Amino acid sequence: MVATSLYRNEQYFARPLEYLPERWLRSNTTATENPPKEEAVRALRTSNPLIFLSFGVGPRVCLGRRVSELELELGIARLVRNFQIEFHHPVDKPFKSLFVNMPNMPLKFKFSDIV
Ligand code: HEM
């Protein structure tokens, strides 16, 4: 079974077709001012921790995992710190699945300097 079809399977993810990013929050997060309740987040998490493995698992796990995650976190943090980011375009079918998921629409974000 293709991994992306597992992400849409109710057996593994509650409300799989909804955009609910809080399902990825770690426990005891203090990153937001009003964090969602732990029980609510737990109910959204996957029932199987081996479902989402972008970097593999076990003795052959990706050696660059920590570096890549750090780079992504720092990059996104710099963007949201420095810009108000808006997107005023249709978001129907936002991805297409090739070997990996690809954007299926022009990424016409509007970045405005935060003063
Ligand atoms: C978003 C970025 C990356 C993703 C999604 C990714 C994903 C993966 C995956 C799925 C594997 C196979 C794991 C397995 O066999 O179970 C792997 C292996 C590996 N990755 Fe990455 N990787 C990324 C970035 C990097 C970077 C930046 C480096 C180097 C600095 C790196 C070095 C390696 C190495 C050396 C292996 C082989 C580990 C082994 O077989 O012992 N990766 N990666």
Whether residue 55 has its Cβ less than 6 Å from ligand 1: yes
Residue 68: CB within 6 Å of ligand 1? yes
Choosing from 52, 62, 74 the residue with most ligand 1 atoms within 8 A of its CB, the one to mutate for a pocket test is 62
Residue nearest to atom 23 of ligand 1 (CA): 64
Mean pLDDT of the chain: 87
Residue 1's pLDDT is what? 52
Cα–Cα distance between 105 and 90 in angstroms, integer? 9
Comparison of pLDDT for 93 and 65, the residue scoring more? 65
Q: What is the mean pLDDT of residues 58-73?
A: 96
Q: Is 60 in the pocket of ligand 1 (CB under 6 A)?
A: yes
Highest-scoring range by mean pLDDT, 16-20, 39-43, 83-87: 83-87
CA distance 46 to 56: 17
Of the candidates 44, 49, 51, the residue with the CA atom closest to the CA atom of residue 15:
44
Q: How far is the CA of 61 from the centre of ligand 1 (A)?
A: 7
Give residue-wise pLDDT tens across range 69-113: 999 999 999 999 999 999 999 888 887 877 778 899 999 999 999
pTM surpassing 0.75? no
What mean pLDDT do residues 51-79 have? Answer: 94
Ligand 1 touching residue 2 (CB < 6 A): no
* pLDDT > 90 in the chain, percent: 48
Amino acid 29: pLDDT:
60
